[in-house]
Chains A and B, each alone.
Chain A
Amino acid sequence: MYNILLGGAAGDGIETMSALLEKMLKQSGCHLFTIRDFMSRVRGGHNFTQIRFGNTLLHAHRDSLDGIFAIDETTYREHQSQLSDDGFILCDESLSIDDHRALKLPLKAVAKELGNPKVISSVAIGALLKIFDFSLEYAADTLKNNLRADLVEINLSALHRGFDLTKPRFGLKSALTSDYLLLSGNTAIGLGALAAGIKFYSAYPMSPSTTLLDFFSTHGDKMNVAAEQAEDEIAAINMAIGASYAGVPAMTGTSGGGFSLMVEALGFTGIAEIPLVVVDVQRPGPATGFPTRTEQSDLKFVISASQGEFPRMVIAVKDHTDCFYQTARSFALANKYQIPVILLSDQYLADSTTTIPILDASKIISAPTTAAGDLDENDRYRRYALTKSGISPLAIPGKTEALVRIDSDEHDEYGQITESADIRNKMVEKRMAKLELLKEELIEPEFWGAHQCQSLLVGFGSTSGAIKEAVDLLNAKENHYGALIFGDIYPLPTKRLKHFASQVVEIINIEQNATGQLASLIREEALLCCNHSILKYDGRQLSVDDILTGIKNLKGGF
């Protein structure tokens, strides 16, 4: 398993280069996990991607590097401390990098000789493939499928020239025997929504959720999805609500700032009982925060956002596969309970790409079919009919003779505005009853590690991969670590947590935020206190290494 970093300034083509290299590595039989670290600017600064590849499925990035491709000296300065002693720094011969690990090659000269200085990245890809002892077998096809036709030949020449500049240093027995997908978390969410039958997606561009809007803009026409770029996030969610009321599965997506604008409408879906999926691709806040970086700090916000009380569900997606299946499940839950379901993702998942087994659209549980809209003894349809479960049969306007009335005011069974204390009580109880019903089908957190564990790590969402890998490494030395990773997080499932809490010596919460929001939720919902925290809030995703260091430091403190 290897880990390399490609770095340069915004506009240097690092993103394009890594996308090509990833595809060639995958074609060569590797599993991949790639993270993208970029600044909120279009030119300049320092951007990098880190590609981890090997012959087993990968679920997280690592900090330690086997190789760096440095377009500039900044890349070397920023990352040389992560590089192992036998690692390499591939760079142009003109860079003043004084390091025994430097592998200086005439990359620029070759590119210039070929007639386009921009092909330097292809020269470098060629060199990298050689260093890891891969062939150029898949290079031509990858270039053909991803570049403009007139650029294929020159880049292919550049690859070959780069390949010939150096010699193999590492070898990897490739293992891919069947087909795998290579995609980002946001793409997986988009595909999950399509599998669930989404027909309307509205959003306002906001990093790191924007690629989701791009996804639906690209594929919407062919897949029968109206993708609408709204004038603001308030419009985005109110549009999605309108579409859902009219009977089409709808979703809106944003990041924390946009979610803040959506808050009033979130409550509207609650009282009006309109099925809706809202994706919050988190980034560090408050306010504008770190636009292109990652955090898990919206948890306590989204579980309580909006005035008043109403049922909602929050699902923290754990990895790329989860992005697909949980998004699809969100649609079914939103429709079944007529509630908002909030999908909590983050920049780390949104922008990272990884190889995963093929997603299966036929495995999606479809949403229950809507009721016919029966009329009562007064010849009227009761949109908010009081039922034991709290769920009222949902009719679609125009599809039956039922007149479908919904209201953001408190309302009676017909959806007619009311100020009756009695009806108010009944409606509040009806709505909240749905939450109790929902609790019965929550998915307990995934357990990982030694069942007789003494130390229990708890986390949620995107830190899943790093926590699992850290537990495996810890257990290789002392087999007493376990982890619970929450996907369904509100309402919080507590059965499995309580079970393990009764046997362990300590609970350690691992979160990408400053205040330990999961630990706080656990205290509130399970009456359990975490003994220690490993928290990170610098906008850079918690790595396996961060967790191992954190555990080591906790031990030192004993």
Chain B
Amino acid sequence: MKKTAFTTSETAWCPGCGNYSILETLTGVLNQMETPPHQVVLVGGIGQAAKANQYISANGFSGLHGRSLPAAVAIKIANDDLTVIVNTGDGDSYGEGGNHFLHNIRRNVDITHFVHDNQIYGLTKGQPSPTSDPCDLSHKINACNMGATFNPLLIAIAVGATFVARSFSGDKEHLAEIMQAAIKHPGYALVDILQPCVSFNKKNTFAYYKQRVKPLDPTYDATNKLAAMEKAMEFGDTIPIGILYQEQALTYKEKRPELFDAVPLIDKLVNLEDVQALIHRYI
């Protein structure tokens, strides 16, 4: 195995799954970067999407369902030299991990979060996810939301995300471009990637997305927060894809200059004399 290249291995996904093109695109993007595989940590929770890190030759952290974000931010806090990328699904990110989604956006740790959003639970075979379409009682589909549909992009912008984008697994070129920008972004970057679940989602199919996705107009201003929120609410006959919102803000690390500098936390020396001096303060 060539150590400097990212390679993929055999997967356990269904034939035709949208995950394949995401995996392929991500591998391509990683190979274009200067960072070698041993400096990249791919983090996942549980679910079909979360298996992505099993199939790329990088460091891999396959954690618990819904809990990938707390682990990912801590990995980055511990060693800032690592590039940390999360791949999980909509159920993992927005359902089981909803609380972590809200609060890790607020931390603005420099990690990248790719949500493989197929608007359904795949691994458990077809239950509705937070992003499933609302139920239409006249046209009953198997997996729909009786309650309101969760809008991840709108919520992300609302709680202070500094990079919010959407892409589509069927447009590899667009996806690669967005992935690159997301990884490059200093701070937390969310990319909601629409992907068809060929086995269970009979509504939001490849053709369905293909017909509706529409790249943002080149004149679109991604720094206008209110306009971005409005754009994030567009999800119907047309689905905007691209970077909906981006701002330059202080990252977690930059807000704590007393603790974080050029030396990553892991490489900082433990000074027992300092500890003993602190102990003596209790005399």
Q: How far is the CB of A189 from chain B (nearest CB, A)?
A: 13
Q: How far is the CB of A276 from chain B (nearest CB, A)?
A: 12
Q: Across the interface, which residues of A come within 8 angstroms of B70, CB to CB?
A: 202, 230, 234-236, 238-239, 242
* Additional 11 contacts, C-beta under 8 A, given A246-B78, A406-B62: A220-B259, A224-B269, A230-B103, A239-B70, A242-B78, A245-B61, A265-B64, A398-B79, A402-B38, A417-B12, A417-B62
- B38 in complex: contacting residue of A183, A250, A400, A408, CB < 8 Å: A400
Q: How far is the CB of A110 from chain B (nearest CB, A)?
A: 32
Binary contact track B56-91/A, C-beta < 8 Å → 1, others 0 = 011111111001001111110111011000000000
The 3 lowest CB-CB distance pairs between A and B, nearest first, are: A242-B71, A242-B74, A246-B78
Would you give 28 A-B contacts (Cβ < 8 Å), ordered by A? A182-B283, A194-B275, A194-B278, A195-B275, A223-B275, A223-B278, A224-B269, A226-B78, A232-B99, A235-B67, A235-B70, A235-B99, A235-B103, A242-B61, A242-B72, A243-B75, A246-B78, A361-B275, A362-B276, A364-B272, A397-B75, A403-B38, A405-B60, A406-B60, A406-B61, A406-B62, A407-B62, A417-B62
Alpha-carbon distance A403/B58, docked complex (angstroms): 6
Number of A interface residues in the complex (CB < 8 A) = 66
Query: Chain B: which residue is nearest A248 at the CB level?
Result: B78
Q: How far is the CB of B229 from chain A (nearest CB, A)?
A: 23
Binary contact track B33-69/A, C-beta < 8 Å → 1, others 0 = 0001111010100100001001001111111100100
A398 with B38, Cβ < 8 A, contacts A179-B283, A200-B74, A228-B77 known: yes
List A102-125 residues whose CB lies under 8 Å from chain B. Answer: none
A199 with B99, Cβ < 8 A, contacts A243-B78, A247-B78, A403-B58 known: no
Q: Cβ of A503 < 8 Å from any Cβ of B?
A: no
Alpha-carbon distance A183/B281, docked complex (angstroms): 10
Residues A187 and B282 in contact, CB atoms below 8 Å apart: yes
Q: Cβ of A180 < 8 Å from any Cβ of B?
A: yes
Residues B266 and A199 in contact, CB atoms below 8 Å apart: yes
Q: Across the interface, which residues of A come within 8 angstroms of B12, CB to CB?
A: 417
Residues A238 and B103 in contact, CB atoms below 8 Å apart: no
Q: Across the interface, which residues of B come within 8 angstroms of A222, CB to CB?
A: 258, 274
Q: Across the interface, which residues of B come within 8 angstroms of A250, CB to CB?
A: 74, 78
Q: Cβ of B125 < 8 Å from any Cβ of A?
A: no
Q: Across the interface, which residues of B come within 8 angstroms of A402, CB to CB?
A: 38
A200 with B102, Cβ < 8 A, contacts A181-B279, A230-B70, A234-B67 known: no
Residues A231 and B103 in contact, CB atoms below 8 Å apart: yes
Q: How far is the CB of B110 from chain A (nearest CB, A)?
A: 14
Alpha-carbon distance A404/B279, docked complex (angstroms): 37
List A363-407 residues whose CB lies under 8 Å from chain B. Answer: 364, 378-380, 396-398, 400-407
Residues B265 and A199 in contact, CB atoms below 8 Å apart: yes
Query: Chain B: which residue is nearest A411 at the CB level?
Result: B62
Binary contact track B1-34/A, C-beta < 8 Å → 1, others 0 = 1010000000010000000000000000000000
List A409-457 residues whose CB lies under 8 Å from chain B. Answer: 409, 415-417
Q: Cβ of B100 < 8 Å from any Cβ of A?
A: yes
A358 with B73, Cβ < 8 A, contacts A200-B78, A246-B82, A397-B38 known: no
Q: Across the interface, which residues of A come within 8 angstroms of B81, CB to CB?
A: 398
Residues A405 and B73 in contact, CB atoms below 8 Å apart: no
Q: Across the interface, which residues of A come within 8 angstroms of B102, CB to CB?
A: 231
Task: State which size class the interface on B falls in.
Answer: 35 or more
Alpha-carbon distance A259/B140, docked complex (angstroms): 42
Residue of B79, B81, B258, B280 contacting most chain A CB atoms (<10 Å): B79
- B79 in complex: contacting residue of A194, A220, A247, CB < 8 Å: A247
Q: Which residues in B have some Cβ–Cβ distance to A below 8 Å?
A: 1, 3, 12, 36-39, 41, 43, 46, 51, 54, 57-64, 67, 70-75, 77-79, 81-82, 99-100, 102-103, 256, 258-259, 265-266, 268-270, 272, 274-276, 278-280, 282-283
A245 with B71, Cβ < 8 A, contacts A199-B78, A224-B268 known: yes
A361 with B272, Cβ < 8 A, contacts A230-B70, A246-B78 known: yes
Q: How far is the CB of B258 from chain A (nearest CB, A)?
A: 4
Residues B71 and A238 in contact, CB atoms below 8 Å apart: yes
Residues A361 and B75 in contact, CB atoms below 8 Å apart: no
Alpha-carbon distance A364/B276, docked complex (angstroms): 12
Residues A397 and B41 in contact, CB atoms below 8 Å apart: yes
Residues A240 and B270 in contact, CB atoms below 8 Å apart: no
Q: Across the interface, which residues of A come within 8 angstroms of B41, CB to CB?
A: 246, 397-398
Query: Chain A: which residue is nearest B269 at the CB level?
Result: A224
Alpha-carbon distance A239/B109, docked complex (angstroms): 13
Q: Cβ of A359 < 8 Å from any Cβ of B?
A: yes
- A358 in complex: contacting residue of B67, B266, B283, CB < 8 Å: B283
Binary contact track A91-109/B, C-beta < 8 Å → 1, others 0 = 0000000000000000000
Alpha-carbon distance A200/B79, docked complex (angstroms): 11
Q: Cβ of A219 < 8 Å from any Cβ of B?
A: yes
- A417 in complex: contacting residue of B51, B79, B100, B282, CB < 8 Å: B51
Q: Across the interface, which residues of A come within 8 angstroms of B272, CB to CB?
A: 195, 361-362, 364
Alpha-carbon distance A194/B278, docked complex (angstroms): 10
Alpha-carbon distance A407/B276, docked complex (angstroms): 38
Residues B275 and A408 in contact, CB atoms below 8 Å apart: no
Query: Chain A: which residue is nearest B256 at the CB level?
Result: A221
Binary contact track A203-228/B, C-beta < 8 Å → 1, others 0 = 00000000000000001111110101
